[in-house]
Amino acid sequence: MTQHHRPPRAAAIAPARPAGWQIGLAAGILGAAGILAAPAPAQESAPAEAIITSHGYSTFGDLHYPADYARLDYVNPDAPKGGEISIFALGTFDSMNPYAREGRAGALSTIMTESLLTGTADEVSAQYCLLCTSIEYPESEDWVIFHLNPEARFSDGTPVTAQDVVFSHYLLLDQGLPSYAETVRALIPTAEALDDLTVKFTFAPDVPRKNLINQAGGIPVWPQHWFEETGARLDESRLEVPPGSGPYMLESADVNQRITYVRNPDYWGRDLPINIGRNNFDRIRVEYFADTDAAFEAFKAGEYTFRQENSSLSWATRYDFPALDQGWVVRAELPNGNLPGAVGIVFNLRRPELQDIRVRQALALMYNFEWTNESLQYGLFDQRASFWQNSDLAAQGVPEGLERDYLEQVADLIDPAILTDQVTMPHTSDARAPVDRANLGRALALMEEAGWIPDEQGRLMRDGQRFTVEFMTDQPTFDRIFIPYVDSLNRLLGEGGAVYNRVDPAQYTDRQRNFDWDMIYSGYDTGLEEGIGLDQQFGSLGVGDIFNPAGYASAAVDRLIDIVVEAKTREEMEAGVRAIDRIMRRELFMVPTWYNPNYWVAYYDMFRHPDVLPPYTLGQLDFWWYDEAAGTALREAGALR
């Protein structure tokens, strides 16, 4: 694996948003915005740039919502406020600071903070003012100014000021995750408060402008006075939280047991158009459990009230308990318009033996999706092929048109067959047995071609060393899925050549961060609109970053990322992403596994949602609401604890 070094361009991941929102990063050309003519310049001066002003920002198309919009299309503006929704989390937590460099943060711990801009659940790239009332920037996008809402307040009643925004930006650069700080510092070197309600970000010269306005607008804003008064650091693990400007505040955090958030009755933004029909629950409670069995039994007993299921075993076999039979619990499949997660069995390319594609191909051949899905997952899943499955960004067939043009620009850096062959698809296997004998034969041939020769005990050896591999996880639910895969690997590698190792969550987090693993079930955060975030995930910049778990790097993909970042139209962006998808699928640094096109949910029948859900989020913590009469009836019937 060759590492290619490039100048920093942008952070691959924006500061975290509240749970329930799955809005991708986006930036580009603003639509539905007013352009104000600048004052006429002096006769000898160069023409002044036009200044664009708007209530939001969009990449390649118009903003769906005009400046005078009353609410989002998909919410119920008459949704009542009240009640509690409770969910579960697995494992442990020891911190309420999701930005710490150590420790394990509690679930939903970003829910208390807000940013200048926020996304919607029915648009791919649009961002609208939240803490701000308007933005302005020149056509060159060399800088952006945000005008803050004078009504914005933190939960302690203090106003949100431009000084707080500037403080938060530099706090992230000084004490945030190094991968974020290093790249953003090179892109947004200057933030300044022009007055108490006006903040300006100036972008570095000679870096692509795409996504920079949204990067600046996505910075979480904290109160400067709290950090100065307490001496707290952003990078330290702690349970104390600063006052946030968001709709929810931390009520209590009982380590490894539960976290409860309470709706701020004085929330400053409750009447904003972006918030009408949202933030409806008085409380959001998270119950922690050591394992999935305990969590499921607790749901059956009414200890928490909303469950999003991800186990095909549970979905197919366990939803037959009394609360469901009596009509207390709703079991439903709801449509999911998001990209399926780009997840699978990830190879750690930092390990020299796994840098040989023949080895990766051999190990991949031992995963039998067809048998796994039919025998262990009740045939409920489809197999993912693309990093951008079920979208216009997924490569199809042989390359054509603009995608082919882009691939020809990197032809000297890729396998020539990429230009002529059908796109790489997952291998097929015989569903009748865990090990497909034909695939085993192919895998042995590939390993021998890579120099790994079986000895008299069937162990694959090279230069006196045995080939071994560990599959690491912290999820008990994976045991029944991946132990058979590891058993199949031992058919290839010889007994003991592959080890399945389930560790505790804290150890898993530590080893994952330090890349102390061979294979894990993980993935990449792809989106329906791509830009600078590709660098940290799939570019050479990301080799040492946890957001690029495989440590993948390719000079060809680096060049194509440049094309995507500089794309002026959606067509150019999509063609560039398809070219990247085609290359990465051929290089097989992740074995694609399964995906579910729907949400599987079960909940006590006291929650309601709009008849038509938006495409890009389930929104149960966002725009669902509590039916008080139904909740009372359930309690009187003894359904809830």
pLDDT in tens, 219-245: 999 999 999 999 999 999 999 999 999
Question: What tokens appear for 527 in the block?
Answer: 């989106």
Whether residue 587 is found in the same domain as residue 625: no
Residue 415 CA: distances (Å) to CA of 41, 223, 419, 420: 54, 52, 8, 10
pLDDT at 42: 44
Q: Is residue 316 part of a domain?
A: yes
pLDDT at 477: 87
The model's confidence at residue 9, banded by pLDDT at 50, 70 and 90, is very low
d(CA 13, CA 15): 7
What is the helix (H) or strand (E) element at residue 513, kind and residue range? helix 505-513
d(CA 460, CA 452): 5
Residue found under tokens 């399926």 = 340
CATH (domain of 554): 3.10.105.10
Q: pTM score, two decimals?
A: 0.80
Whether residue 92 is found in the same domain as residue 167: yes
pLDDT at 641: 83
Whether residue 293 is found in the same domain as residue 425: no
Over residues 391-405, mean pLDDT: 97
CATH (domain of 203): 3.40.190.10
Q: Is the model's pLDDT at 43 over the cut of 70? A: no
Whether residue 158 is found in the same domain as residue 301: yes
The model's confidence at residue 13, banded by pLDDT at 50, 70 and 90, is very low
Kindly give, in sequence order, each residue whose CB lies less than 8 Å from that of residue 440, ignoring residues fewer than 6 positions away.
365, 366, 488, 491, 492
Over residues 457-475, mean pLDDT: 97
What is the helix (H) or strand (E) element at residue 508, kind and residue range? helix 505-513
Mean pLDDT lowest for which of 55-64, 246-255, 361-370, 379-388? 55-64
Whether residue 628 is found in the same domain as residue 516: no
Q: Is residue 199 part of a domain?
A: yes
The last residue of one of the domains, among 575, 595, 615, is 595
Q: Is residue 126 part of a domain?
A: yes
The candidate with the shortest Cα–Cα distance to 82, out of 636, 633, 639, 629, is 629
Q: Is residue 517 part of a domain?
A: yes
Q: Is the model's pLDDT at 5 over the cut of 50? A: no
Whether residue 498 is found in the same domain as residue 560: yes
Q: Domain span at residue 612? A: 1-336+597-641
pLDDT digits (tens, 9 = 90+) for 110-129: 999 999 999 999 998 899 99
Residue found under tokens 């394992």 = 291
pLDDT at 439: 98
Eight-state DSSP code of residue 303: S
d(CA 370, CA 587): 22
Whether residue 164 is found in the same domain as residue 264: yes
CA 133 to chain centre: 27
d(CA 360, CA 195): 56
3 state DSSP class of 275: helix
HSE (CB half, 13 Å, CA atoms) of 570? 12
Whether residue 503 is found in the same domain as residue 617: no
d(CA 10, CA 188): 9
**Which phi and psi (to 5°) does residue 542 adopt?**
-95, 5
pLDDT at 46: 56
HSE (CB half, 13 Å, CA atoms) of 480? 11
d(CA 327, CA 329): 5
Q: Quote the percentage of the chain above a pLDDT of 70.
A: 93
Whether residue 523 is found in the same domain as residue 605: no
Over residues 453-461, mean pLDDT: 96
Cα 507–Cα 512–Cα 514 angle in degrees, nearest 5? 100
pLDDT digits (tens, 9 = 90+) for 201-213: 999 998 888 889 9
Q: Is the model's pLDDT at 313 over the cut of 50? A: yes
Q: Is the model's pLDDT at 40 over the cut of 90? A: no
Over residues 166-172, mean pLDDT: 97
What is the helix (H) or strand (E) element at residue 577, kind and residue range? helix 570-587
Q: Pairing between strand 127-129 and 329-335?
A: unpaired
CB burial of residue 626 (10 Å; 0-12, 13-18, 19+):
buried
Domain count, the chain: 2
CA 1 to chain centre: 26
pLDDT at 492: 98
The candidate with the shortest Cα–Cα distance to 57, out of 11, 114, 119, 2, is 119
Question: What tokens appear for 537 in the block?
Answer: 């995930």
Residue 569 CA: distances (Å) to CA of 221, 388, 390, 501: 32, 19, 21, 46
pLDDT at 59: 83
Whether residue 81 is found in the same domain as residue 175: yes
What is the helix (H) or strand (E) element at residue 193, kind and residue range? strand 190-195
Q: Is residue 446 part of a domain?
A: yes
Whether the Cβ atoms of residue 150 and residue 162 lie closer than 8 Å to each other = no
Whether residue 286 is found in the same domain as residue 309: yes
Q: Is residue 210 part of a domain?
A: yes
Residue found under tokens 């009230």 = 305
Q: Is residue 345 part of a domain?
A: no
Kindly give, in sequence order, each residue whose CB lies less than 8 Å from that of residue 434, ignoring residues fewer than 6 positions away.
368, 371, 375, 484, 487, 488
Average pLDDT score over the chain: 91
Whether residue 144 is found in the same domain as residue 220: yes
d(CA 43, CA 65): 39
Q: Is residue 344 part of a domain?
A: no
The candidate with the shortest Cα–Cα distance to 3, out of 547, 544, 364, is 544
